[in-house]
Amino acid sequence: MIPVKQDVEMALAENIENLLHKACEKIAPTWPLDEFIAVNPFWKMRNESIDQVSSKLSALAQVQCLMPASYYLQQWQQGKIKEKHLQRAASLMGSKETNKNLLAVVKQQSDLPHWHHISDLLDSGRDRQHKMAWRDEITHQISQFCAAYFQKDGPVNPTRLGESKNLYEQWLWVVQKDKGIAILMDEARLNDYFKQLPDNEESLIARALMDLQVSEIAIEDYAHALLLDINGWASWIAYLNWQKDLGQSENNVPSMMSLLAIRMAWEWVLWQYHNDEYPHLGRKLSHMWQKEQASLPQLIRQHEDLQKTLWVWQRAMELAYQEQIAEQLLANNESKDLQSAKIERPKLQAAFCIDVRSEVIRRALESQNSDIQTLGFAGFFGLPIEYSPLGSQRSRKQLPGLLAPSIRAELDSFARHEQEQKASRGYNSQARYQEWSQSSAASFSMVEAGGWMYAFKLLKQSFWPSKKSDSMVPDNHSWVLKTGHRSLTREEKSNLAATILKAMGLTHNIAPSVLLVGHGVQCSNNPHAAGLECGACGGQSGEVNVRVLAQLLNDSRVREDMAQFDINIPLETQFIAALHNTTTDEIRILSEGHTLRLEMQEWLQNAQVLAQQERAVRLKLDASDERLSQYIEQRTKDWSQVRPEWGLANNAAFIIAPRDMSQSVDLQGRAFLHDYDWQKDQDGSLLRTIMTAPMVVTNWINMQYNASVWDNHKYGSGNKVLHNVVGGNIGVFEGNGGDLRIGLPMQSIHDGENWQHQAMRLSVFIRAPRERIEQIIETESVVSDLVKNGWLHLLQISDDGKNVAQFALNQWHEMGVDTIEH
């Protein structure tokens, strides 16, 4: 029987449309490679508890949000999780299970059934020895189409073709002309059924839901499960809509509903095809499908029941870490007289990003001299700027992905002329070569195309690495700050400078030399290099931000105005832009004309040596080797090096407190550090800003790393050696097909033998009055979601620095020194 197309347009009922939109809103964005930042892939589901999200994702798409039971058992056997941790975890979670039951479940965990789409049900009876699986073909076809659609010069990009079709309409035009699918799947008349699909997405979804007899109670979960099948491309569409909401893109971006329609169209085609062409199989399919829907609520409960036990184990592991940090902080506070320990006026102050990699270099620098003070602040240094780099036709955002820039930083005319001269001397050819290295051909095979001359260049870079700066910003320059089409006024500059200085705690006793230390990475042949850059700078180096801020704070007119903000900047104080190379731990001075005293240069050099020695262990290098620095430098130029550094792997804590609380404590490069003195924050506005901005960013980073460990197939990007860049900078395929891969490569979190990131929810330690913290939890919905739904842990350090309490089940639970076993 030849299927007949029904041209009647169908509309969705309002309640059904609302359910579908709720499903579409559950997908978090993923940023392009050149702006790659860590994202909490569960961000759009933060209004639900993490355990509920985990069990539902597990049931719908076999997504893992926990470590395997064997991992927790190993932690127990190694003495890292103890009985007291399990007991306290169960208490904090309101669990009534005993330790004996917990152990028994961990040892006896078995696989549970999961949700099946129509394509999965058909695959279960398909001759897989001779025929390709429907699931594989669906993912491949949709993914290849999306790559061709979203790539700017892609063969079906509507802008390139001068067409106005939306995503679904363009896919329909492509799939109806594709005769290869029927041949590949060995289903001769399959193409006839694609030709019967409705012309618009709403009609398609309405007809599919009706013909497939999807019950209203299952619609939201079914739609969500379909999107999880193509989560990579769904995440890309979520990003495009995120930028639209920030006012950073055009209004006509593809909708998530369009992608859902494409995936649902495949379900409908397979349903109709098998019912018409194989009636016996169609009847069996109908029975299985109705059974699948009916069992969905019970299926989710089954996953939830099993995971309850594992969440107690996860919480126990996190408690063990929290106790360790609390013990270190309280002991450190007790061992020093805070008043006498403070420096009246330091010789050198250095403000670093809160990034966990800064913890190591800050500790190393502070150990050089007691007259050194370091500070932790968000890496974009409070500047909501965008900047157009050399050779780029678009602006580069230098601030967190949560925000939209409000200021444009431009080089003055002299500096731009210098840029143009550099471009004419070969910068453009370098950019073209970089573009080739990130083309659809695998970057690790570039040498094959480049021939022996390029191979020689690679060998030279690997064994005799150049120390030449990779800065694309001229040293002799000044910046013009604009909003709209005009420059910032003196008043606006002064207000901006005062806001930043107050947030940094730099209002009095400012040192003669203040380093503003951004950070950047140095590596080669790495499509995910932006993921190692400063996340607070939108996946870019912090160089531009610290250069702009140094100029702003050295502006004599701005400094004259600081008195009205009760900020005292001594005449001799100079703010100096610097860059921390997180791969080599070198701190390079960027500000031309500012030379540090010899002893200060030695402090920086000695700090680099100490930091390199500490990091050498994880890099499997000999920390005692006098050539260690040379080996590390070589790694940055090695095009075959898949682990140039460990980035933010193993992040676990965020400490919001005066540096005195953590100074000299070895936090092993696992803690974000943000300076904060609640006594200087009378109205609590600064703490509110920290908890609604940097704390959210650190949650994104923490959950990105966790998710890439928990389920690298769904939320990670697999083996970077097999990566092929898609669409210039959209993302990567692992190999030449499958879904768009998001998240971190395995090489960023695993050394080939062991995990280099322990997947634990972020523990946020705040030294501030409980009432102030509680007020922010209750009045800021995002903070409330994160805290009350278990996406991070909140711990309060008492005013006197002698006790720690944690927030759980809407109340505080003391965890003072007397309850911590030494």
Which residues does the annotation place in the binding site?
353, 355, 519, 534
Nearest to 227 by CA among 121, 133, 146: 146
Which residue(s) pair with 767 in the sheet? 797
Side chain identity at residue 694, one-letter code: P
State the alpha helices, DSSP H only, in 178-295. 180-185, 190-194, 201-211, 216-229, 231-245, 256-277, 279-294
**Integer angstrom CA distances of residue 377 from 153, 259, 519, 545:** 41, 40, 12, 13
**Three-class secondary structure of residue 280 per DSSP:** helix
Q: Give the orientation angle of helix 256-277 with respect to helix 14-24, to 10 degrees.
A: 110
Quote the CA–CA distance of 128 and 587 in Å, as a whole number: 57
Structure-derived torsion over alpha carbons of residues 744, 749, 751, 752, reported in degrees to the nearest 10: -60
Measure the CA angle with vertex 360, ends 765 and 758; round to 5°.
60
Which residue(s) pair with 376 in the sheet? 352
Residue keyed to tokens 């997180």: 582
**Three-class secondary structure of residue 808 per DSSP:** strand
CB 479 within 8 A of CB 409: yes
| 731-734/723-726 β-pairing | antiparallel
Nearest to 71 by CA among 265, 278, 310: 310
Sequence ranges of the binding site for Zn(2+): 353, 355, 519, 534
CB 288 within 8 A of CB 81: no
Going by C-beta distance under 8 Å and a sequence separation of 6 or more, which residues neighbour residue 754?
none
Which residue(s) pair with 763 in the sheet? 653, 793
Residue keyed to tokens 């768009």: 740
Which residue(s) pair with 482 in the sheet? 408, 487
Detail the DSSP E strand segments found in 250-387.
348-353, 372-377, 385-387
**Three-class secondary structure of residue 779 per DSSP:** helix
**Three-class secondary structure of residue 375 per DSSP:** strand
The end-to-end CA distance of the chain, in Å, is 78
Q: Give the orientation angle of helix 770-779 with respect to helix 781-788, to 10 degrees.
A: 110
Quote the CA–CA distance of 129 and 480 in Å, as a whole number: 65
Burial letters 436-461, b for 16+ CB under 10 A, else e: ebbeeebbbebeeebeeeeeeebeeb
Secondary structure element (H or E) that encloses residue 543, with its range:
helix 543-554
Length of the chain: 822
CB 100 within 8 A of CB 746: no
Token digits of residue 712: 């690298």
Q: Write the secondary structure of 10-34 as one string of H (helix), E (strand) and C (coil).
A: CCCCHHHHHHHHHHHCCCCCCCCHH
How would DSSP label each residue in 81-141? S-HHHHHHHHHHHT----HHHHHHHHHH---------HHHHHHTTS-TTTS--HHHHHHHH
Going by C-beta distance under 8 Å and a sequence separation of 6 or more, which residues neighbour residue 374?
349, 350, 351, 352, 362, 365, 366, 659
